[in-house]
Amino acid sequence: MVTAATTTAPLIEKHTIGYVPPEDRHGKTRDLFTLWFGGNIAPLPIVTGALGVQLFHLNLVWGIVAILVGHLVGGVLMALHSAQGPQMGIPQMIQSRAQFGSLGALLVVLIAGVMYIGFFASNIVLAGKSLHGVVDSVPVPVGIVIGALGSGIIGIIGYRFIHVLNRIGTWVLGAGIVLGFGYIFTHVQTADFLTRGSFNISGWLATVSLAALWQIAFAPYVSDYSRYLPANVPVAATFWTTYLGTVLGSSLSFIFGAVAVLATPVGMDTMDAVKLATGSIGPLMLVLFLLSVISHNALNLYGAVLSLITLIQTFAYRWIPTAKSRAVLSIVVLGGCCFAAVGASANFIGHFVDMVLVLLVVLVPWTAINLIDFYAIHKGKYDIDSIFKVDGGIYGRYNPQALLAYAIGIAVQIPFMNTPLYVGPISEHINGADLSWLVGLLITSPLYYWLANRDTAYKRRLSTGKLANSI
């Protein structure tokens, strides 16, 4: 769907966390397919997907099945968040104030911001290594800075440019990964390509969890990239274009990583395996992945900056953040991540991935609460003015029901956790499979629904407020 704003939308985004008015809405739902397909053809999902056969010792067939199951399940949650964007017209994190209250939402916003920064830093390391792999004379630290600057420029320009690049990237990267699959399958260098590894329930569950958590990690910012669409676009259209794009793109990358490591000798670094397995087209693949990681990483920078602005605006409620504010904070985040990444140890990516796994434990209950609140409690009807008030308006400073469900949602996951900080007794009993995310969703969702429907005082407050933006 196109509006008059489509052809007049400025290249450099002027909005930050504020409501996007109808006259500034533009774009088509199909843009969400290209954004999430192209954005997921990148080194980090390739490295993550390889873990199913590298770390959990699955064979190719069972590894592929686990990857598909995880993405198909996790993608539902991710796409349901995306469908909120056109209805609300505001970023996902600022919308959390409607569930948790103006101050109650701060913890979730902070956690999401840290996660974005972790992903951004990890990706610029991958960009540095990819650039070094293409041009040996470029040291990895220099490559890190170049990758960060490229992502920074894209992130500062903002929403429209991010969508444009991913429309191009979908065709280029889609063709590239198909070409890569074709080369690997016709040049397999190992005799145990189909027989290495075997089915084991703990490894299979762990791989399913990795894929599902990959999708859930997008939940705190996925609607940031649909909020400029016209408010009257069908919810189903937003859901399906996002879902198909993210599941297809992520699954291809995860499976590509698994195929590449199985086609090369045991023990190789994943990206080295990709370079070796793709032979004569290896340099081309590395160039494509380098461009992909720079483009996709702009989303992480963009999300981190919106989270920071949300945190600051909670206390400086008279402050009206502008495009200049977003640019300044982008430069601050970019500089800090470059300093940390260049000076960190060789296992920098591993440390940040570990950190993200810990953070996801506290983001899963937020996902459950946000979706239940939007689709089952409020049915898409919110008072936008209250969301931006310092006292939370009709939503208050805190929502005890949401905070209680959130705390219980975290607590019930502890026995099922498998993170670098703690391994729960149930996870240990099933050989390290992490099912905490599934337990968190299954417990938090009905609990919050029950608590919210019991709170008659809160419902009376809502009924007196002006509710808008219905599904």
- Give me the CATH number covering residue 276: 1.10.4160.10
CB of 52 closer than 8 Å to CB of 65 = no
pLDDT band at 211 (very low <50, low <70, confident <90, very high): very high
Q: Is the dihedral of CA 234, 374, 162, 7 positive or negative?
A: positive
Q: Is residue 151 part of a domain?
A: yes
Q: What is the pLDDT of residues 264-287, one digit of tens each?
A: 988 888 888 888 888 888 888 888
| Burial group, residue 2, by CB count within 10 angstroms (0-12, 13-18, 19+) | exposed
What is the distance of C-alpha 141 from the center of its chain? 25
CA R_g for the chain:
22
Residue 449 lies in a domain: no
Asked whether residue 163 is domain-assigned, the answer is: yes
| Nearest residue to 213 via CA among 363, 383, 92 | 363
CA atoms within a 13 Å half-sphere pointing along the CA-CB vector of 295 = 28
260 inside domain: yes
Name the strand (E) or helix (H) holding 185: helix 159-186
Q: Residue range 136-160: average pLDDT?
A: 82
Average pLDDT over residues 450-457: 77
Taking CB atoms within 8 Å and a gap of at least 24, the contacts of 139-148 are 141/342, 144/338, 144/341, 144/342, 145/338, 145/342, 147/123, 147/290, 147/293, 147/294, 147/297, 148/124, 148/334, 148/337, 148/338, 148/341
Residues 319-333 have pLDDT tens digits of: 777 778 888 888 888
What's the domain count of the chain?
Answer: 1
- What percentage of the chain carries pLDDT values higher than 70? 89
Task: Examine residue 14 and state whether it is found in any structural domain, yes or no.
Answer: no
Cα angle for residues 301, 305, 307 (degrees, 5° grid): 120
Q: Where are the alpha helices (DSSP H) in 187-220?
A: 201-216
pLDDT of residue 3: 44
Residue with tokens 């992502």: 151
- Cα-Cα-Cα-Cα torsion 120, 121, 126, 132, nearest 10 degrees, comes to 120
Residue 409 in tokens: 């949602």
Chain segment 367-400, per-residue pLDDT in tens: 999 999 999 998 888 888 888 888 888 888 889 9
pLDDT per position as a tens digit, 14-45: 666 778 888 878 788 888 998 899 888 888 88
In a domain, 383, yes or no: no
pLDDT given at position 18: 76
Q: Please state, as a whole number, how many other Cβ atoms lie within 10 Å of the Cβ of residue 39.
A: 27
Average pLDDT, the chain: 84
* pLDDT band per the 50, 70, 90 thresholds, residue 221: confident
Closest to 168 (Cα-Cα) out of 255, 286, 283, 296: 296
- Cα of 57 vs its chain's centroid, Å: 26
464: number of Cβ within 10 Å:
8
pLDDT at 444 over 90: yes
Q: CA-CA distances (angstroms) from residue 200 to 263, 446, 463?
A: 21, 32, 52
* CA angle centred on 362, ends 359 and 363, rounded to 5°: 85
Question: Is 411 a member of any domain?
Answer: no
- According to DSSP, residue 219 is labeled T
* In the block, residue with structure tokens 């739902």: 29
What element of type H or E holds 336? helix 323-343
Domain interval for residue 100: 25-347
Fill in the DSSP letter of residue 202. Answer: H
Residue pair 14/23 in contact by the 8 Å Cβ criterion: no
Number of H helices, E strands in the chain: 20, 0
Q: How confident is the model at residue 159 (pLDDT cuts 50, 70, 90)?
A: low
Nearest residue to 154 via CA among 291, 352, 358:
291
What confidence tens digit (pLDDT) does each residue in 57-87 have?
A: 899 999 999 999 999 999 999 999 999 989 8
Q: What is the pLDDT of residues 81-116, one digit of tens each?
A: 999 989 888 888 888 889 999 898 888 888 888 888
DSSP lists the bridge partners of residue 468 as 382
Sorted by sequence, the CB contacts under 8 Å of residue 204 that are 6+ apart come out as: 56, 58, 62, 65, 66
Return d(Cα 202, Cα 468) in angstroms, integer: 46
Does residue 12 lie within any of the structural domains?
no
The amino acid that residue 30 corresponds to is R
Residue 110 to residues 105, 327, 332: CA-CA distances in angstroms? Answer: 9, 19, 16
- Alpha-carbon torsion 236, 242, 70, 90, what sign? negative
The answer to whether the CB of 378 falls within 8 A of the CB of 87 is no
